[in-house]
Structure 1
Amino acid sequence: MGTRKMHADEADIDTSLVRALLGAQFPHWAELPIARVESAGTSNAMFRLGEDLVARLPRIAGAVGDVAKEHQWLSRLAPHLPVAIPVPLGKGAPGETYPWHWSVYRWIHGETPTAGRLAEPGLLARDLAEFIAALHQADPADGPPSYRSEALATRDTGTRDAIARVREIVDADAATAAWDAALRAPAWSGPPVWIHADLQPGNLLTVRGRLSAVIDFGCLGLGDPAVDLIAAWYLLPADARGILRAGAQADDASWARGRGWALSIALDELWYYRDTNPVMAGIARYVIDQVLTDHQHAG
């Protein structure tokens, strides 16, 4: 997955580029072994630097703004959260053959969970709820809007377009009915709170089945707390979702919006990545199936 391009405007990034950037900007790290991190991530390329560090370089221009945001906010949020998050150690500048800012972080050990193969789904649901609650309670003063800060209803046209694009592999009528149901939920009327906004398997790390870290805060910002409930459908089996819902204290409207967010995001991911990122497309198909099953049982 690491070398395949997923975007038309994606930069050329390899170990020699990373070595050159380190040599010019962080010579004290330049002699460390460099190894590409195989990942289904779509916005950044990652390279392990020795045992303890990782370089993270935006693949596309649209992800470049995340660098400054993460350097500004992650160290402030980290003390308030119950599990580890990435804290930048170095901010790289554009180089001769790479046009954007980039970051060096400390490497966080852990395993990426896989939906359907969780060792402790109930305990993981509690861990996720604890993280979500803590993040939502962090002081929102001066926080930027999340990448997913819009009201769910503003995604209507894009979501229906996505349904049309994948109708040969997804039950379009069922997806439309589930989306219509989500739109009937009352909109969030409270103040915006800090949200991760992308709590899916690739952005979580576990140790012995328990949540140990949350990574990739590119979507971080202020928004509707329901967006973080997408973890219920991206990762958890049906019998553990209620544990997350209870721990996050999600009311009916928030739960319905969270399910709508999960469906909308997964539909977008399925049509966009179906040919270039089979892991991401597979996760998206799982999410869509979970949402449609939920909706069918609720109806």
Structure 2
Amino acid sequence: MTMHDDQVDVTTDIVATLIREQFPQWSGEAIRLVASTGTVNAIFRIGDDLAARFPLRLADADEALAVLEREAQASAELARVSRFPAPVPVALGKPGAGYPMPWSVQTWLPGTIASDADPSGSDAFAEDLAAFISTLRSAETRGRRFSGENRGGVLAHHDSWMAQCFAESEGLLDVPRLRQVWGRFRELPRTSADVMSHGDLIPGNVLVEGDRLGGVLDTGGFGPADPALDLVSAWHLLQPGPRDVLRRALGCDDLEWERGKAWAFEQATGLVWYYVDSNPAMSRMGRRTLDRILESTK
């Protein structure tokens, strides 16, 4: 089952043809589809050192190229400032071989994603995660501000989306309670200036080595946002004890902590219903995050 109504299929044969035609220097490398719960890109390994990412949702080719160029710039910037491994952009590919959009190539990072190697009970992982977030926060915004896209701006601007989520979640979740919780979250004031943020610290975007943070993926959203945005990781990735470790390490006050919880709530509520059939693992992750949030708000 496809995840999106406008999803574009891409196969190993298509990728092999694109590589052969556009990047012949890699044409002798093995090409393998990477099993993933990701919802934005299909990912293929090229040999041992590279990964090709193909957007799943159909878009105008010129507009898609502009997005990929911005993501490449953001990924390169994050890789420069991060103390933990992050992918480095390598090349941009063109439409062809039946695939209608541009695509990207970046370095491959070894490791196990947090969805498969649950680090949620590790204080050491929480300390690493705090160090990563702190490093990003200290990076220069260079006068940039939140773009207005996705999460990271004004919570109340997501009311329409949340109304859709509540309507779609009837029969799946305790919608009356969720409405009540959102009614409080949406009123949380914003008092701090934008800082640089990863923007999507969910388990599928985090690599684990042992019980430590091994690297961070999907870095194309790196940019200025609400300082609370990367605190979604506290609810997506951590149990209560390590969650407290993260909070203490970052020195979060009550307002910032609650706003982080609100962003995680907004994201998780959408994941549950949107992917309930097409990506059950992502839907289950949303449920788990909501359970953690609701448990903490009793």
Please give the TM-score of this superposition, normalised by the length of structure 1. 0.91
Paired residues for 1:190-229 under 5 Å? 190-229=192-231
Please tell me whether residue 167 in structure 1 is matched to residue 170 in structure 2.
yes
The one-character-per-residue Cα deviations of 1:206-254 (angstroms, maximum 9, x if unpaired) are: 1112101110124332210111100011010012111111222221111
Uncovered stretches (5+) of structure 2, i.e. residues with no partner: none
Structure 1, 130-139 or 61-70: larger mean CA deviation: 61-70
Structure 1, 219-228 or 83-92: larger mean CA deviation: 219-228
Check the 8 A contact 1:129/1:248 in 2, yes or no: yes
Question: Taking structure 1 as reference, are residues 283 and 115 closer, same or farther at Cα in structure 2, changes over 3 Å only?
Answer: farther
Partner of 1:107: 108
1:20 aligned residue (6, 17, 29): 17
Check the 8 A contact 1:232/1:241 in 2, yes or no: yes
1:74: how far off?
2.1
Partner of 1:95: 96
For 1:201 and 1:174, the matched residues in 2 are separated by: 26
Check the 8 A contact 2:74/2:221 in 1, yes or no: no
Check the 8 A contact 1:147/1:221 in 2, yes or no: no
The one-character-per-residue Cα deviations of 1:22-43 (angstroms, maximum 9, x if unpaired) are: 1111001012111100000000
Residue 184 of structure 2 aligns with an amino acid whose one-letter code is A
- SS of residue in 2 equivalent to 1:225: coil
Residue 12 of structure 1 aligns with an amino acid whose one-letter code is D
Uncovered stretches (5+) of structure 1, i.e. residues with no partner: none
Please tell me whether residue 53 in structure 1 is matched to residue 54 in structure 2.
no
Question: Taking structure 1 as reference, are residues 77 and 156 closer, same or farther at Cα in structure 2, changes over 3 Å only?
Answer: same
Check the 8 A contact 2:203/2:237 in 1, yes or no: yes
For 1:261 and 1:199, the matched residues in 2 are separated by: 11
Check the 8 A contact 1:136/1:193 in 2, yes or no: yes
Please tell me whether residue 155 in structure 1 is matched to residue 152 in structure 2.
no
For 2:160 and 2:170, the matched residues in 1 are separated by: 15
Partner of 2:122: 121
Check the 8 A contact 1:115/1:237 in 2, yes or no: no
Question: Taking structure 1 as reference, are residues 290 and 82 closer, same or farther at Cα in structure 2, changes over 3 Å only?
Answer: same
Check the 8 A contact 2:156/2:187 in 1, yes or no: no
The one-character-per-residue Cα deviations of 1:47-87 (angstroms, maximum 9, x if unpaired) are: 11112211111111469354211222322332221101111
1:114: how far off?
3.5
Residue 182 of structure 1 aligns with an amino acid whose one-letter code is F
For 1:100 and 1:116, the matched residues in 2 are separated by: 33
Check the 8 A contact 1:178/1:291 in 2, yes or no: no
1:142: how far off?
5.8
- SS of residue in 1 equivalent to 2:167: helix
The one-character-per-residue Cα deviations of 1:121-157 (angstroms, maximum 9, x if unpaired) are: 2111111111111111111126572642331111123
Cα RMSD after superposing both structures: 2.0
Residue 98 of structure 1 aligns with an amino acid whose one-letter code is Y
Partner of 2:252: 250
For 1:115 and 1:57, the matched residues in 2 are separated by: 23
Check the 8 A contact 2:42/2:55 in 1, yes or no: yes
The one-character-per-residue Cα deviations of 1:262-290 (angstroms, maximum 9, x if unpaired) are: 11111111111111001100100101111
Partner of 1:75: 76
Structure 1, 20-29 or 88-97: larger mean CA deviation: 88-97
For 1:61 and 1:242, the matched residues in 2 are separated by: 41
Question: Taking structure 1 as reference, are residues 180 and 115 closer, same or farther at Cα in structure 2, changes over 3 Å only?
Answer: farther
1:161: how far off?
2.7
Please give the TM-score of this superposition, normalised by the length of structure 2. 0.91
